[in-house]
Every structure is written in structure tokens, then in C-alpha cells.
């Protein structure tokens, strides 16, 4: 089983602060996806990173795939209350995805 560990598990910050969430593994993935999940709903895809070292930006969110394709990070600049939710990373392990345990983010106004 290929494991993905996310850190931190919980994060509570004030509006306007910056934060970084990490997703780490000892295994190599062909691609890595980030999802956001709000209470009572299914996860929604934010981004897919494929190439080692790749950086993708989605408004105030910056995603990076590690050079060795074993880890990834999500950086949020000037967090807003609307960023509150559960952030999940998922690695492509061939025919199926392996999900991390998630980071629960709360942004207080």
C-alpha cells in the first residue's frame, strides 16, 4: 500500500494569514491531485500536478509537485473564510488513487 501523509491535520488561522499544507510519501506517483471538501459534500478537484517540480497557481492557491514526485505542497496566500474546508491530496498509483488523511483548515474572520 502506498501511503500519503498530510500535515498538519488541523489548522486554524485568522483571515489574511498565509499557510502551507504538506503531502508526503516514500513512493513515487505519476501524478498528484488536490481536492477540497466542504461539510456534507463530496470532494471537488482543485488541481492535478504531473511533472516533477511543477508549480500550478489557482488564484491565491499555489501547488507544487516535488522534484522526485513523492511529495507536494499547497500554499494559500491571504486566506479567506471561504477557504475553510478539508484539503485532500491523492496520488495516482495506477488504476486507482491513494488519498492522504486530509488537512482540516478553518479560517476565522
Q: Provide the binding-site residues for another protein, judged by CB under 8 A.
A: 1, 4, 6, 9, 31, 33, 35, 40-45, 48, 88, 90, 92, 95-102
CA–CA dist 11, 82 (Å, integer): 14
CA–CA dist 32, 51 (Å, integer): 9
How far apart are CB 74 and another protein at their closest, in Å? 15
Length in residues, the chain: 109
Task: Specify the residue, 45 or 78, whose C-beta has the smaller distance to another protein.
Answer: 45
The angle subtended at Cα 19 by Cα 76 and Cα 61, nearest 5°, is: 10
Task: Specify the residue, 14 or 26, whose C-beta has the smaller distance to another protein.
Answer: 26
Q: What DSSP designation does 53 have?
A: T
How far apart are CB 90 and another protein at their closest, in Å? 8
Helix (H, G, I), strand (E, B) or coil at 82: helix
How far apart are CB 40 and another protein at their closest, in Å? 8
Task: Specify the residue, 40 or 82, whose C-beta has the smaller distance to another protein.
Answer: 40
Contact at 8 Å (CB) between 64 and 48?
A: no
How far apart are CB 21 and another protein at their closest, in Å? 13
Amino acid at each position: 500500500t502506498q501511503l500519503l501523509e498530510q500535515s498538519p491535520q488541523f489548522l486554524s488561522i485568522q483571515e489574511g494569514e498565509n499557510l502551507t499544507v504538506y503531502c508526503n510519501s516514500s513512493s513515487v506517483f505519476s501524478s498528484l491531485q488536490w481536492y477540497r471538501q466542504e461539510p456534507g459534500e463530496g470532494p471537488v478537484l482543485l488541481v492535478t500536478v504531473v511533472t516533477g517540480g511543477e508549480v500550478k497557481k489557482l488564484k491565491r492557491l499555489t501547488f507544487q509537485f516535488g522534484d522526485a514526485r513523492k511529495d507536494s505542497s499547497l500554499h494559500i496566500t491571504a486566506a479567506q473564510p471561504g477557504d475553510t474546508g478539508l484539503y485532500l491530496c491523492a496520488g495516482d498509483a495506477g488504476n486507482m488513487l491513494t488519498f492522504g488523511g486530509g488537512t482540516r483548515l478553518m479560517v476565522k474572520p
